[in-house]
Amino acid sequence: MATVAGHLSLDDIASAADRDLNYETPILRLLSTSKAKGYDTVCIPLTNEKWRARWKKMCLSPEDEAEKDDNTERISEAWRSNPAFLREEVNVTRLDEAENTIVMLSDWLELDSQDEWVRCDAETALMQELSYASYLNVLVAVLPPPRNRAHIPSYARAIRACLEKIPYMHLSVRVPVYDPVIFQPVTPTPRCGSPSPSIDSLVASGVSATSSRSMSFPHTTEEEFNSTWEMWDVIRTICESHPRLSLTLDLSPPLPLTAGVLDKWLAEPTRQIFLPASTFIANAKSYPVLPKGTQAFIREIMKLQPTIILSGTNTGQHSRGGEKSYFQYIRHLEKTSPGVQAMKKSGTVENFAIGYQDYLQAPLQPLADNLQSATYQTFEQDPIKYANYEEATFRALLGWPKTDERILLCVAGAGRGPLVARALKAISRAKREAFVHVVEKNPNAFVTLQERQKTEWRDQVQLHFGDMRTLELPDKVDILITELLGSFGDNELSPECLDGAVRFLKPDGISIPSSYTAHIAPLSSTKLFNEVRGHEDLKKPETPYVVMFNAVNILSGEGGDGNTGSRIQECWEFVHPTKNVVLNERGLPVTNSHNSRFANLNFHIPHAGVLHGLAGYFEAILYGSVGLSIHPQRKDYISKDMISWFPIYFPFKDPLYLPGNSELHVSMWRLTDQQRVWYEWYAEAFLPVMIPVLDWTVDRASASLTAISTPLITPSPTIDALDVPPVVNKTEIPRIPNESSRTETRLVKVGQTALHNPGGRSSWIKL
């Protein structure tokens, strides 16, 4: 269940101050009442107005210059040299008051003020607050929100310094999901005036959430939706994605109905959602509900299990339902969240993967290693994979043209025998006379196969121990059944094993599977990036992993300008039996070069994001229209609730920022020598820019070179990436462009990754 926290306001704390002999302190009284109302925890402001007033007096120049005095400066300097609170400036003083609570630091601190002195004193105050919170064992502190884009690097540097000095505590940056008003330039306050307003006051005054909620975002651009994420991106980058840095997403501003622009928050460490009562609207019966866009977003982000901080629920903003109705509404959203429900429903891949989300696992190597019985047992729990294999075998048997002959089947790589059992079922359903050869190279699993032959299958099967690449069978078979597929299709060396096993097939024989394809999509995930980075050796970021994705955002979108493909794109295909391979006298390929592959795929990136890696999927055709798929857009039509494979993840060792409306060109290789197979991967980012088409003519009147070296247009800061006709020698008469109204789109390169795993130096699969 989602954790729901009640936000205590300064007014709540003040009104709890009247003595109640049942509680030792007002905060303990509020904690107890919140618990009774059903909240799991509370969010408490650490400081109060007294601290704000003292800080203001010490650190901001008075509006009236006449009020300035030396004594104040001395007091300020004394504070700077030894920052400390007075008892009456803080709301929490005891360990039991802070236990399991979320503490909100002074949200008026301007770590990104226009004024350098204000920034400096705000940082001193922040460190003082964190040090005090740390003294009280606080585990999560919500930081004041960033406001001023121009000084976000200063804000981020201050947070980084705090992360280094304060141990254990999680620092959570409060960021509005978007709110352009927050970024209106802060009036410079060179030690005078008051700090810029807090989010709450801006929402309450300027852009009232109620008033703007009723608008349909007529003027809100992609750039505006992106602006707070872009600030967060700078903070996260400067803090090097510190594992104790997280995000409190402030949902005070109303959300758009189109989810795409918000998905980027799913790939971030969004640990808290701040949800004020003012964000709720009244439904037809006057009960508080959330606007559609916010509902959809909360349902989606619930799968990350953030703590929802409800605030202002006791301020009577809605006429019906009372305080508990907000809380109940959140529980209702949780119950109707597809992600949460899938996790709860047994039999789904989401339920099967609980505890494994975003956890990196090394892919199996069933050819090089001998699998454990428990691993086979896990495979065998899949309700869909074996049913689809049985159906494919059944249809292949039904379609087999020679009805009067005994049909020979071979299950190669049989493991503990589930596909043998399914093949026998299919034979019985199809009412055909048939016999099954069974091949397995794992000596331990072969004992289980012998046991099953003796007790279940008897003379319907014949067992053969050995490697399908070298073993000989007594007969050629009609149908060859294998399951040697990895998350990327070919990554458990199905193509190489089948090169050997197809020798068992008659010329017109059928292979189940008949083909499989590998697919990729660019992905962003701070969590996964953190898992692979920071290791001295290159191995970790140059190794593909099997991962059940959760806090992940696929960056690509449909659309684009025709130069780009779909959101998830196919890299390559393997078809069996393989055609046109040069074979030796034993019927085996002379080299493995026919199994190497290359793909160059162009993705459209609609919204800005940070590329951390590639998500990989596979799809297989078993027979006819029966298949297996983990492709996110197709799996539910082909093999819904199949749990055997999680996707694969190809990491990038350094993040690559992709601007909105950019293109990502990905190169992917499957390479091989006589001993190994490995993947290499690389990506480049491009930004399409519109430039006028220049018709060049020779200017005989001017002998100066300036005409061509002066920038004529400035489509992008990387103007040098565009073709300007070269000057061959300095005496050549320059050409100047004619005026033209035509424009064309060119791609300007904005970044690239390293080539990952060259020569298979970090990761490979042993043949």
Catalytic residue selected from 110, 440, 492, 680: 492
* Active-site residue, 483 included: yes
Interface residue with ligand SAM among 6, 146, 176, 413 (CB under 6 A) is 413
Segment holding 479, helix H or strand E: strand 477-482
How many other CB atoms sit within 10 Å of the CB of residue 736?
Answer: 16
Rounded to a whole number of angstroms, the minimum distance from the CB of residue 756 to ligand SAM is 26
Distance of alpha carbon 273 from alpha carbon 246, whole angstroms: 11
Give yes or no for residue 434 binding ligand SAM (CB under 6 A): no
- The CA distance from 633 to 548, in Å, is 16
Which amino acid is residue 410, in one-letter code? C
748 strand-pairing partners: 687
Rounded to whole angstroms, the Cα distance separating 2 from 306 reads 7
Query: How far is 215 from 197, CA to CA, in rounded Å?
Result: 23
Residue 746 half-sphere exposure, CB side, CA atoms within 13 Å?
A: 15
CB of 430 vs ligand SAM, minimal distance in Å: 20
Using CB under 6 A, pick the residue from 195, 418, 606, 627 that binds ligand SAM: 418
CA 151, CA 285: separation in Å to the nearest integer?
A: 46
User: At CA 729, angle to CA 724 and CA 733, rounded to 5?
Assistant: 75
User: In 3-state terms, what secondary structure has residue 296?
Assistant: helix
Which of 195, 269, 288, 415 is close enough to bind ligand SAM by CB under 6 A? Answer: 415
| Cβ 39 to ligand SAM shortest distance, Å | 47
Considering only 140, 261, 439, 498, the residue that binds ligand SAM (CB under 6 A) is 439
Which of 62-70, 407-415, 714-722, 726-734 is the region at the interface with ligand SAM (rule: CB under 6 A)?
A: 407-415
CB 513 within 8 A of CB 621: yes
Q: Which of 396, 468, 532, 656 binds ligand SAM (CB under 6 A)?
A: 468
576 binds ligand SAM (CB under 6 A): no
- Does 440 bind ligand SAM (CB under 6 A)? Our answer is yes
Q: 483 to 512, contacts with ligand SAM by CB under 6 A?
A: 483-484, 497
Tokens for 545? 């992993």
Tell me the three state secondary structure of residue 261: helix
Choice among 89, 300, 440, 483 that is catalytic = 483
Minimal distance, residue 100 CB to ligand SAM, in Å: 45
- Work out how close the CB of 139 gets to ligand SAM at its nearest, in angstroms, rounded to a whole number: 43
> Residue 462's CB: how many other CB atoms inside 10 A?
16
- Smaller CB distance to ligand SAM: residue 272 or 491? 491
Site for ligand SAM in 167-196 (CB under 6 A): none
Using CB under 6 A, which of the segments 77-85, 126-134, 186-194, 409-417 binds ligand SAM? 409-417
Q: Taking the complex as a whole, how short is the minimal distance between the CB of residue 580 and ligand SAM, in angstroms?
A: 22
CA–CA distance, 460 with 458 (Å, rounded to integer): 6
At 546, give phi and psi (nearest 5°).
Answer: -90, 125
Q: How far is the CB of 578 from ligand SAM (least distance, A)?
A: 16
Q: Which of 694, 687, 688, 698 is nearest to 712 (CA)?
A: 694
Q: How buried is residue 579: exposed, middle or buried, by Cβ count under 10 Å (0-12/13-18/19+)?
A: exposed
Pick the piece of the chain touching ligand SAM (CB under 6 A) from 213-221, 462-470, 517-525, 565-573: 462-470
Give yes or no: 492 in active site. yes
Q: Which amino acid is at 708?
A: I
d(CA 497, CA 481): 12
Query: Whole-number minimum distance, CB 718 to ligand SAM, in Å?
Result: 48
Site residues for ligand SAM, 353-382, by CB under 6 A, read 366-367, 371, 376, 379-380
Task: Give the pairing of strands 569-575 and 515-524.
Answer: antiparallel
Residue 469 sits in the site that holds ligand SAM (CB under 6 A):
yes
Query: Which position among 111, 247, 249, 414 is part of the footprint of ligand SAM (CB under 6 A)?
Result: 414
Residue 409 in the binding site for ligand SAM (CB under 6 A): no
Only segment of 56-64, 236-244, 441-449, 539-547 that touches ligand SAM (CB under 6 A): 441-449
Q: Scan for tokens 């980084």, then name that residue.
A: 160
Interface stretch with ligand SAM, choices 267-275, 440-448, 655-663, 710-718 (CB under 6 A): 440-448
Q: How many residues bind ligand SAM (CB under 6 A)?
A: 22
CA 380 to centroid of chain Cα atoms: 30
Catalytic positions, please? 483, 492
**Residues engaged in binding ligand SAM (CB under 6 A):** 366-367, 371, 376, 379-380, 413-415, 418-419, 439-442, 445, 467-469, 483-484, 497
